[in-house]
Each structure stands twice: as C-alpha cells, then as structure tokens.
Amino acid sequence: MAAPPLPAPPPPEPSGGIVEPVPVVAPHFCAPYVVQLSVKEKYGLRQGDFTITDTNGAVVIRVEGAFISIHNRRLLLDANGNPLLCMREKVISMHYTWEAYRGDSTKSSDLLFTAKKSSIIQPFETEMYIYLASNTSHEVCDFKMKGSFKERACSFYLGNTNTLIAQMHRQHSAMSTLLGTDHYGLTVFPNVDYVFISALVVILQELHTDKND
C-alpha cells in the first residue's frame, strides 16, 4: 500500500522523538524528519469526520464516523480512501477505552493498540495510556499522553518516560474564527508513526466529546 503524500523535510525542529523507528501501523509511516499536520473536524450528519492535511494543504488522512454505531466506530483512511485503522469504543469498560484494529477489521488478531484514560475523573488535565496489542498485562504503558485537550495543548511520550514523540497545539485562522470551527496542529517527531499519532488525536477528540456529553 502506497504511503500518503508528505511534504519535503522541514527545517530542524526542537529535539524529540526516538532514534530507531517504532512502527505501530506500518514502517513507512515513520518519517525520518518532523512531520507537521493540521487536523480539522468536519460537521455534518455523521459525527466523528475529520480531515488531516500536510503543510501544503494536501489530504494525508481522512477519518469517517458512523451514522449509527453501538461501538462509536471510526474508520481512518489514507488519501486514496484505503482503510488504515478501524477504531471503536469499548462498550463495557471501567475507563473510557478505545481499541484500534488494522484496516477495516475488528478481529482480535488484527488489534494494534488500546487507548484508555488513566482515570474516569480528570477535571483539569487529560491523561491517556496506550498499550500495544502484545502488551496484554497493561501493567506498564507503551505510550502516554498528557495535557489539556480543552486548550488543545497535549504531549505524547514513549512509554512511561519523558521522551517526547509528538505535540498537539491549537491553530487559529480567519476562517476558523469566523465559522467557530476547531483547527489544531500536530507535530510528529522523527521516526514516530504519524498515522498512529493521528489516530490518538481522533480518540482524544472522542473522549473529550463523551466527557462533555
């Protein structure tokens, strides 16, 4: 499967990321340079539709929600409409928990990772732990996210460490201010799977929406 288009390598950015690529979705989604993306939620009949573009405005990832879904299902597609991930919320869970599967599958054998809030009650900051499918004990997370999703200021880390792998920040434009829409940027550091990080951002949006509801 061909990788979505990416912009040319940008100028050096602040240090972060990891030395050796750690692919979650696929190795070719681990760029050897910083990837800058923009995330925009689309408002319509279907809840949970997103468009993720590069610095040139080209679509890299599209996210499709569902009209009616017991599991609150989201499908992540590449620019050509090929399914990359199927994400769904666990109906019965002590924490807000989402699971991501390869392609459009929901088979247990295709599970890639599980993301869950560290606590149901998070009044000020959002904290989310991510466990790869091979990490069945869930004793130590493989990745984590901390920050304020309300302010769109979140950081992603490798495991339970301070190794930064990606950051999310709010973006403002004349059009978004006029229409009241929500745009936010995503900085993915070198050798980090940008499709994986994009999926986590979508899950964060869904967790935030559930909390508000």
pLDDT score recorded for residue 170:
79
Q: What pLDDT, in 10s, does the model give residues 174-198?
A: 444 444 456 789 999 999 999 999 9
What fold characterizes domain 27-212? Porin (2.40.160)
Residue of 16, 33, 12 whose CA lies nearest to 167: 16
- pLDDT tens, the chain, 213 aa long: 555 556 544 444 445 557 788 899 999 999 999 999 999 876 654 555 789 999 999 999 999 876 555 557 889 999 999 999 999 988 765 558 999 999 999 999 999 999 998 765 555 678 899 999 999 999 999 999 998 877 778 999 999 899 999 999 876 554 444 444 567 899 999 999 999 999 999 898 887 765 444
Which pLDDT value is given to residue 153?
85
Say what the pLDDT of residue 191 is: 95
Give the pLDDT score at 95: 59
Enumerate residues 6+ apart whose C-beta is below 8 A from 8. Answer: none
- Buried b or exposed e, range 140-178, using 16+ CB within 10 angstroms: ebbbbbebebeebebbbbbeeeeebbbbbeeeeeeeeee
Q: How high is the pLDDT of residue 125? A: 75
176's enclosing H/E stretch is helix 174-179
Contact of 193 with 29, CB cutoff 8 Å: yes
What pLDDT sits at residue 4?
59
Q: What is the pTM of this model?
A: 0.83
Domain spans of the chain, in order of start:
27-212
